[in-house]
């Protein structure tokens, strides 16, 4: 079996597992909030292979941009190469797979109270949760046509074929909105992981 086929199988299996119930989905969203810079598909693969990962990058980024080195014998995390038009893999490593000087350990941003107050004042709202929900809703709404077209295509060969497209689109958009808001709230410290 080729490595690409193996990774696709891992992806398919993990996708089913994280969608099996609400708690599994929330657990994944908490994880994805930590690796938010990676696409949904790659977050699924990282979660499947290294659920304890926190900071993940390829060898070039660790070596050249961060100044850390991959530990000998470290096991890579195979993900899809989003930059390549054909389906290929690239390999990532968690910070726990690296070594280097203490000053090369990246700091993860946090929203402390002073920064939060300054930010809220600059955007003219009183609640970070309110601002997150507003921005997520605006972004999802701006992609409504793309979502509708993608869903229409996906529904053609699914168990949901024949259901009113308007209703399915609304439900899907609401699920995406709720999920994105939840991730942003986790990442910004509004909600604590359950």
Local confidence pLDDT in tens for the 194 residues of the chain: 699 999 999 999 999 999 999 999 999 999 999 999 999 999 999 999 999 999 999 999 999 999 999 999 999 999 999 888 888 999 999 999 999 999 999 998 888 888 888 999 999 999 999 999 999 999 988 988 888 888 888 888 888 788 888 888 888 889 999 999 999 999 988 876 65
Backbone dihedral angles phi then psi of residue 20, each to the nearest 5 degrees? -75, -30
Chain mean position to CA 147:
18
Domain coordinates in residue numbering, the chain: 3-104, 113-188
Strand order in the sheet with 77-80: 56-58, 89-94, 77-80
Count of all residues that appear for the chain in the document: 194
């Amino acid at each position: 079996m080729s490595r690409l086929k193996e990774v696709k199988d891992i992806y398919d299996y993990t996708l089913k597992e994280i969608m099996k119930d609400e708690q599994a989905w929330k657990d994944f969203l908490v994880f994805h909030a930590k690796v938010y810079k990676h696409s949904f598909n790659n977050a699924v693969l990282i979660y499947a292979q290294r659920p304890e990962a926190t900071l993940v990058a390829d060898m070039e980024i660790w070596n050249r941009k961060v100044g850390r080195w991959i530990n000998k014998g470290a096991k890579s995390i195979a993900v899809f190469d989003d930059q390549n038009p054909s389906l290929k893999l690239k390999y990532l490593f968690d910070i726990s797979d690296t070594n280097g000087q203490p000053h090369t350990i990246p700091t993860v941003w946090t929203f402390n109270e002073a920064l939060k107050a300054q930010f809220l004042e600059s955007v003219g709202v009183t609640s970070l949760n309110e601002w997150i929900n507003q921005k997520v809703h605006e972004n999802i709404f701006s992609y409504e046509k793309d979502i509708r077209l993608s869903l229409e295509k996906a529904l053609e060969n699914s168990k949901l074929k024949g259901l009113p497209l308007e209703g399915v689109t609304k439900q899907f958009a609401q699920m995406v909105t709720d999920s994105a808001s939840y991730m942003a709230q986790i990442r910004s410290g509004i909600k604590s992981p359950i």
